[in-house]
Amino acid sequence: MASSLLHCSDKLPFMDVEAILHMKEGLGETSYAQNSSLQKRGMDTLKSLITNAATDVYISQMPERFTVADLGCSSGPNALCLVEAIVGSVGRVCGRRPSQPPPEFSVLLNDLPTNDFNTIFFSLPEFTDRLKAAAETDEWGRPMVFLSGVPGSFYGRLFPRRSVHFVCSCSSLHWLSQVPPGLFDEAGRPVNTGKMYISSTSPAAVPVAYLRQFQRDLGLFLKCRAAEVVPGGRMVLAMLGRQTEAGYIDRRTTFLWELLSESLAALVSQGVVEQEKVDAYNVPFYAPSMEEVEEEVRREGSFRLDYAQTYEISLSSSGDAREDGRTVSMAIRAIQESMLSHHFGADVVDALFHRYTDLVTESMEREEVKSLQIGVVLTRYSTGLRTGCALGLPFNSLLRRRRLLRPLSVLGAGGQGYFLPGAWVPI
């Protein structure tokens, strides 16, 4: 839980991302709980991939205690969504094998210490009731689910050695541990003036600084998880991403930051916000390409990359630009309010998002707005099996291959999935 301070001149405020960044707490109108339907749709798209990968790990290991972790669980209804699906899925597998009682589930919900865990915990009785009802319907006995909240940055160790069978992380790994130090020159002056993320007008140093920070962070993430995940255990990681044809600029990822920079510029022209503050504001965010993720997985070397997928989600879901614009604007507010308030002061947030809603709505009236997500399935190597792992697979691995193939058919036309060469031998 080491804090990470922004390398910044004394004149500018420090930004300790770990201590500040959190989804808007509570259940109010601007809370993340009320404004996370976009993330929910991303999770729903991945749900089959996640539950199949988790069930696969369970079947291959059959532990008495099956430990599942959701990293970056946030708060609100999304926080329990994936773990509920995983428990149900493994439970149904056991229900089909009368001789196999379901395991005890240890469910670890992780997010930064500033996350609103209270709201998750308040909703536990309903979570338990839903699980019981599902277990009765599917006749797989009463599940023993032990749930805990694990506060801390996933760019550090979170769990004891070899204690976790399955990890999932959705819509979180695009958040960096800190604003990249390279966004400030040696004198502490910001280099990405007027912008908060990589933009077509950004100097070349900007995407390089972001990429380096992402590589460092993902490498650290993988190293920590390598210590925690049991051999043969799996991770499904999904995050906002981009396609390389577009270089560093993929409109599906940069677009919403561009509009937020424009909204800030409007407040500068009204004299509400200082230009210097806007210049110094950068989001600790990076949308990687699939190749960048694959490269880091290979470089770190503890996990085999079994499956990779990119998929688009339309943000113009209702067909009503005003409604969709408000949904998107409120979602970005729930995510960004903590950092914007810290940097600019809480009193500018309403005006900023009033302008932002207008800009997003205008764009959505002109065109369909989409986001691009990438997802990967990784398997923890057993010691000594880092190379040649795909050769001479036993029969049950072939069964597992079929199981993991299944999600492709349910992901819809928007998804582009492929198995990595060497991950499995052909049948």
Q: What residue ranges bind a second copy (CB under 8 A)? A: 1, 3, 19, 25, 64-65, 104, 106, 108, 113-118, 121-122, 124-125, 128, 144, 146-152, 157-161, 163
CB of 14 to a second copy, least distance (A): 14
The helix-helix angle for 81-95 and 37-61 (nearest 10°) equals 30
CB of 383 to a second copy, least distance (A): 16
Choose between 87 and 158: whose C-beta lies nearer to a second copy. Answer: 158
Long-range contacts: 62-66, Cβ < 8 Å, 24+? 62/100, 62/103, 63/103, 63/165, 64/103, 64/104, 65/103, 65/104, 65/105, 65/106, 66/90, 66/103, 66/104, 66/105, 66/106, 66/165, 66/166
CB of 70 to a second copy, least distance (A): 13
CB of 20 to a second copy, least distance (A): 12
CB of 374 to a second copy, least distance (A): 29
Long-range contacts: 409-415, Cβ < 8 Å, 24+? 410/48, 411/45, 411/48, 411/49, 411/309, 411/311, 412/45, 412/311, 414/311, 414/312, 414/313, 415/45, 415/309, 415/310, 415/311
CB of 90 to a second copy, least distance (A): 15
**Burial group, residue 233, by CB count within 10 angstroms (0-12, 13-18, 19+):** buried
- Indicate the length of the chain as a whole number: 427
CB of 120 to a second copy, least distance (A): 8
Task: Write the DSSP symbol of residue 412.
Answer: -
Choose between 119 and 192: whose C-beta lies nearer to a second copy. Answer: 119
Choose between 161 and 386: whose C-beta lies nearer to a second copy. Answer: 161
Choose between 341 and 397: whose C-beta lies nearer to a second copy. Answer: 341
Choose between 51 and 67: whose C-beta lies nearer to a second copy. Answer: 67
How far apart (Å, rounded) are the C-alpha atoms in residues 233 and 80?
Answer: 21
Choose between 115 and 243: whose C-beta lies nearer to a second copy. Answer: 115
CB of 147 to a second copy, least distance (A): 7
Largest CA distance in the chain: 71
Neighbours of 232 (CB within 10 A): 15
**Burial group, residue 59, by CB count within 10 angstroms (0-12, 13-18, 19+):** middle
Choose between 104 and 295: whose C-beta lies nearer to a second copy. Answer: 104
CB of 228 to a second copy, least distance (A): 9
CB of 337 to a second copy, least distance (A): 17
Phi, psi of 28 (to 5 degrees): -70, 180
Q: In this structure, are strands 164-170 and 144-151 parallel, antiparallel, or unpaired?
A: unpaired
Residue with tokens 């470089």: 299
Report residue 244 as tokens: 């390389």
Task: Write the DSSP symbol of residue 366.
Answer: H
Is the distance from CB of 234 to CB of 380 less than 8 angstroms? yes
Choose between 67 and 243: whose C-beta lies nearer to a second copy. Answer: 67
Choose between 125 and 319: whose C-beta lies nearer to a second copy. Answer: 125
Choose between 62 and 410: whose C-beta lies nearer to a second copy. Answer: 62
CB of 126 to a second copy, least distance (A): 10
Query: Would you state the torsion angle of the CA atoms of residues 265, 266, 272, 274, taken in this order, to the nearest 10 degrees?
Result: 10
Choose between 65 and 406: whose C-beta lies nearer to a second copy. Answer: 65
- Sign of the CA dihedral running 145, 89, 222, 336: negative
113-136 burial by CB neighbour count: b if 16+ within 10 A, else e? eebbbebbbebeeebeeebeebbe
